[in-house]
Amino acid sequence: MSDHREPLSTDPLAGLRQRIDQLDRDLLAQLAQRMQAVAGIGRLKREDRATPLRDDRRERELFEVWAREAATLGMSPYFAGRVLREILNWSRREQERQLEGPEQPALRPRLRVGYQGVPACYSDLTLTKIFATRDSAGLERIGFRDFRSVVDALEAGELSHALLPIENTIAGSINEVYDLLAERSISIVGEEAWPVEHCLLGLPGTRLEDLRAVRSHPVALQQCQRFLEGLVGVRTESWHDTAGAAQSIPVEAARHVGAIASEEAAQHYGLEVLRREISDQRENLTRFVLLARGPERLDPRQPAKTSLLLAVNHRPGALLECLKVLGDRGLNLTKLESRPVPRSPWEYLFYVDFEGSTDEGRVQDALDELRSHTSRLKVLGCYPRRVGEPELDLAALAGGVSAAPSSNGAANGAPAVTPAPAAKVCAVPKSTGPAKLVAQRPDGRRTTVRVGDVEVGAEAFVMMAGPCSVESRTQVHEAAAIVRAGGARVLRGGAFKPRTHPYAFQGLGFEGLDLLVEAGRAYELPVVTEVLRPEDVEPIARRAHMLQVGARNMQNFALLKALGTTDRPVLLKRGMSATIEELLCAAEYVLAGGNHRVILCERGIRTFETSTRSTLDVSAVPVLRERTHLPILVDPSHAAGVRHLVQPLALAAAAAGADGLIVEVHPDPAVALSDKEQALDAQDFERLMAALRPVVRALGRTL
Ligand code: PEP
Ligand code: MN
């Protein structure tokens, strides 16, 4: 850069400024060279996977050297430390970028990243930061009006990534984003924090006393309340986002209006910064998450964070048990957030972030154990840690005191940097067997699933009963009265019917569902009903206590995936031609989606035998008990197909070890609109219950 040197001016102020400009250029050139050397180290580490990514001892030495030399040069060691911290921060990122490898430009996926807001909003600025150290050639940014539309576009494949804010140090968690993470099939693949520095912006030449209004996002207005109170006679206007408020001012040529937004927004929209740092609180950070449709590869040496969503079993101390599972393995919790479960008062979903990667054995162990303490567990993502990195004590270094090397293992005093194993990359989470999540636990512990307030899989043998189809208000209320009086604990009833014949009664749909729920409420019974289509999962889950997947849909994988994202229990019936292994794989789909509340149901299979509608595979019950921890129900009605065989099959199922039964009961079977031959009436049901009691008792269970 020496060729750019200019003769110094004779005006002392201008002369000094020229000198500073020259020094800045030199500084920049030096920094660029330093980054090139860092990139070289990154490339070496890409080839040699035994070298750890971070060397904490070297970093500490650098801080000590800088502090010492700064002091010798008459400069504040603290200031030098701050500068070095930022340099090291970006050096680490550059090295991580190098780990990704030299991909062919043509092979690189196109980056289309969505965010909520308009250009130069805080999300957009953070996007620049997060992609500064990712391969971002041809990065395209697309602003959306709201969070939900961004996620819709991501799921639809219109975007490769989405960047959404998730929490702010002043305003707290952004609930809508947490809820989207629970509902949708998306993965967190990155995080980034942005220091929010609110400024007051106006058209160039505007004076504070000219202002009559200040507009911004309501949260920003609230964060600058004290400053705004000092502006006499100025009203505030809520805007959908901060940069949008800035954008509106030149458009309207609003000379008397100011906006609260970033300095970058001022530059972008040709505004002037009228006042800087107007937040009531100085430390105002927003944490963003980068989302993709699926997990992304991570080098095992990268310090990682894992985010989970879990619903704890409804038992005192259940959350504590979960946290203990993490604590016992030395996994450092960085965030715990709770959100109410929709429609289930006083039940909560928990969001847990901890330091560690799903590639580590201790994390995999923890996840396995957590599954037995939770009714729902979803790995939301595993990604490079950017927020909450342990920081060196600069003040201590500046005072010449070197921080004592920590004694936790690694020779270089590093806080448990994962030693690099073989050239392995992490994906979330790996399955070793065909159906791992449903598999029997090593200690044989069984899962119980709550349906409303009824526990299935525990000591009590659970009867579910009701009509094949909901036909009318009277019919379903009468059926509910019968089954309740007989001792059933759950009311069944089909509103959406999968009929073999296209002209047969197809069910009353949502109207039927409402009647079923109404009858369930009247007789204090939770209800189970069949769902046929993925798009109906959410609206049915809003009303019914449990969703049934019928035999004809056992391998409807889109439906199973949709059920994985709900928090309602699922009654999964075995397909008529499905093997037990296929049934378990179908259940695995639901569990892999994060929903652990699955009950399996044997309902008879197709064989060459025609004396019964299907052949009840009684042996499936003990086989399933060996292979899975999930509760097992039997449906003798659809297996028998005729009324008088329902009872003997029911007794066989109970004796074989089923956790309960689901049977069809109709107040007047002769006029039933579906499955009339197999429906029990009130007396049949009473007789069935009486016959079951001694069998169930002999097995040491209650009815
Ligand atoms: C039902 O339960 O009404 C039903 C249709 O059952 P399956 O799917 O077992 O035939
Ligand atoms: Mn039926």
Ligand 1 atom nearest to 604, measured from its CA: 9
Contact yes or no for 117/194 (Cβ under 8 A)? no
Question: Residue 509 is which amino acid?
Answer: G
State the closest ligand 1 atom to the C-alpha of 551, by its place in the atom list counted from 1: 8
Could you tell me which residues are beta bridge partners of residue 460?
702
**Residue 584 φ/ψ, nearest 5 degrees:** -65, -40
Tell me, what's the pLDDT at 425? 36
- pLDDT, tens digit (0-9, with 9 covering 90-100), for 87-122: 998 888 888 888 776 655 555 667 899 999 999 999
Q: To test the ligand 1 pocket, which listed residue (492, 530, 634) has its Cβ within 8 A of the most ligand atoms?
A: 530
Greatest distance between any 2 Cα atoms in the chain:
111
Q: What is the DSSP letter of 17?
A: H
Q: Which residue has the tokens 């950017």?
A: 386
Question: DSSP letters along 126-140, please?
Answer: HHHHHHTTS--TT-E
pLDDT over threshold 60, residue 411: no
**Whether 312 contacts 318, CB under 8 Å:** yes
Query: Within a 10 A sphere around the Cβ of 503, how many other Cβ atoms?
Result: 6
Give the ligand 1 atom nearest the CA of 468.
3
The pLDDT of residue 225 is above 50: yes
Q: What is the pLDDT of residues 600-615, one digit of tens each?
A: 999 999 999 999 999 9
The CA distance from 445 to 306, in Å, is 27
pLDDT over 50 at 482, yes or no: yes
User: Which residue has a Cα nearest atom 3 of ligand 1?
Assistant: 468
Rounded distance from Cα 675 to ligand 1 centre (Å): 10
Q: How far is CA 606 from CA 245, 597, 601, 610, 639, in A?
A: 65, 27, 15, 9, 9
Q: Tell the residue nearest (CA) to atom 5 of ligand 1.
A: 550
For ligand 1, atom 4: residue with the closest CA: 550
Q: Which ligand is nearest to the CA of 571?
A: 1
Q: How far is the CA of 464 from the centre of ligand 2 (A)?
A: 13
Q: What CA–CA distance (Å, rounded) separates 245 from 239? A: 6
Indicate which residues carry an active-site annotation.
286, 288
| Stated length of the chain | 703
Q: DSSP for 388-418, please give it.
A: S-----HHHHHTTPPPPPP-SSSTT--S-PP
- Higher-confidence residue of 471 and 419: namely 471
Ligand 1 centre to CA of 530 (Å) is 8
CA of 453 to the centre of ligand 2 (A): 25
CA distance 309 to 186: 12
Write out pLDDT tens, residues 320-367: 899 999 999 999 999 999 888 777 777 788 999 999 999 999 999 999
Nearest CA to ligand 1 atom 6: 550
Which 3 state secondary structure label does DSSP give 215?
strand
Of 147-156, 233-242, 419-428, which gets the smallest average pLDDT? 419-428
Q: What mean pLDDT value characterizes the chain? A: 88
Residues within 5 Å of ion ligand 2 by Cβ? Answer: 468, 675
pLDDT at 270 over 60: yes
Distances (CA, A) of 390 to 148, 355, 387, 414, 627: 33, 11, 9, 11, 44
Please name which of 642, 582, 588 lies closest in space to residue 616, comparing C-alpha atoms: 642
| Single-letter amino acid code for the residue at 565 | T
Q: 464, 468, 531: which to mutate for ligand 1, most atoms within 8 A of CB?
A: 468
Reduce the DSSP state of residue 606 to 3 states and report it: coil
SS (HEC) of 527-549: EEEECCCHHHHHHHHHHCCEEEE
pLDDT digits (tens, 9 = 90+) for 127-166: 998 888 766 677 899 999 999 999 999 998 999 999 999 9
* One-character DSSP codes across 547-585: EEE-GGGTT-HHHHHHHHTSSS-EEEEPPTT--HHHHHH
What's the pTM?
A: 0.66
Q: Is 79 or 422 the better-scoring residue by pLDDT? A: 79
Residue 380 phi, psi dihedral angles, 5° rounding:
-75, -25
> What distance in Å separates the CA atoms of residue 549 and residue 539, rounded to the nearest whole number?
15
Rounded-to-integer distance, Cα 611 and Cα 634, Å: 19
Pocket around ligand 1 at a 6 A CB cut-off: 468, 494, 498, 550-552, 573, 603, 635, 638
Distance of CA 95 to the CA centre of its chain: 28
Helix (H) or strand (E) holding 97: helix 77-99
CA distance 181 to 378: 10
Select, from the ranges 7-16, 110-119, 403-412, the one with the highest average predicted confidence (pLDDT). Answer: 110-119
Helix or strand or coil: residue 628? strand
* Residue nearest to ligand 1 atom 8, measured at CA: 550
DSSP symbol at 412: T
